[in-house]
Chain A
């Protein structure tokens, strides 16, 4: 088996770093309303565009020897990029909506005498913990607010059924949240 050229690692990281840079620049200008779909666009669609541009420019504007990889090697580059991107996108919600667990750890660490549960509850805004997440779900079209209450949309129903099915296969009941 022919082993891996270091360039596969370099190109994979360069591609991911480029997308990350675009993401940071866009977010610093204005945080978009639909953040996760836009992240998908930046980390998946943009690299495909970059790849096609390189492919078109090779031999015309770029020397043919540059980025001269086999199909398997390009697959390896994209697998590296997509795995890094997937890990980042799925880690993103913890930064997007401040994870209460992470905030609790910071609050506990900042207190010399530790914290009781009651003190921690006081530090949290009920609105941020519950209401904002509810609004996120409405914005992302997983739930809809009607005159007589809130209910799941088709997308919301599919999403929760996926997790229920996954937990059932694992022999676990749904998490406590």
Chain B
């Protein structure tokens, strides 16, 4: 099996690598309060170095050859890694924040449920409070005198992009 193919297969395992790193990390920092999404980002950064290390190991050092080939190789690795890391982030984030998963979990806990009972345990007010707490913990929003303000514009920009994308797909018709 050639080196490139071996590296590609290893690169394809990015979500598993980040998951394993997160398994170790979440147990190591159990007593420290870190937003789970931040923990995933930190593990993704660590995973990136694992991949670079593996690429060097397979290649017995840093890639050599013509500059164009090296640039393509590095660019390819970064794009695929980032995309697969984002995939893992979304899968983990579903278990953390998705309303549908939470609703499924509420029904799973009780077996068979009345709609109103599920709404009681997980209604609009509770959803907003949970999300606000999460936004404050992750540093996206600041609280002053009981009122909330944008603190970090990164997620706000993501929100604008998502809304624009909804418009492009004509969800707002």
Contact = CB atoms under 8 A, between A and B. Distances in A.
A129 B107 CA distance: 17
Interface of A: 1-6, 8-9, 24, 27-28, 31, 72, 75-76, 79-80, 83-84, 86-87, 90-91, 93-106, 108-109, 113-117, 120-121, 124, 126, 129-130, 133-134, 136-137, 142-143, 145-146, 148-152, 156-157, 159-161, 163-164, 166-167, 169-172, 174-177
A121 B148 CA distance: 13
Contacts of B111: 151
Chain B, interface size: which category? 35 or more
A152 B107 contact: yes
Ranked 5 nearest A-B pairs via Cβ: A177-B102, A3-B69, A175-B96, A102-B159, A83-B83
A121 B132 CA distance: 11
Nearest to B115: A150
A125 to B, nearest CB: 8
A95 B132 CA distance: 20
B32 interface: no
B4 interface: yes
Given A3-B70, A148-B112, A150-B112, A105 B150 contact: yes
Interface in B139-173: 140-141, 144, 146-150, 155-156, 158-160, 162-163, 165-166, 168-171
A100 B90 CA distance: 16
Contacts of A172: 26, 36
B72 A1 contact: no
A152 B118 CA distance: 13
Contact of A83 (B72, B80, B148, B166): B80
Given A160-B104, A171-B30, A72 B4 contact: yes
Contacts of B51: none
B94 to A, nearest CB: 7
B162 A95 contact: yes
A109 B156 contact: yes
B79 A80 contact: yes
29 contacts: A1-B3, A2-B4, A4-B73, A5-B69, A9-B72, A72-B8, A79-B80, A80-B80, A83-B79, A83-B84, A90-B91, A91-B86, A91-B90, A93-B94, A96-B171, A101-B97, A101-B131, A106-B156, A106-B159, A108-B149, A108-B150, A129-B99, A130-B123, A134-B115, A159-B101, A163-B101, A163-B105, A172-B26, A175-B95
B169 A117 contact: no
Nearest to B101: A163
Contacts of B166: 95, 98
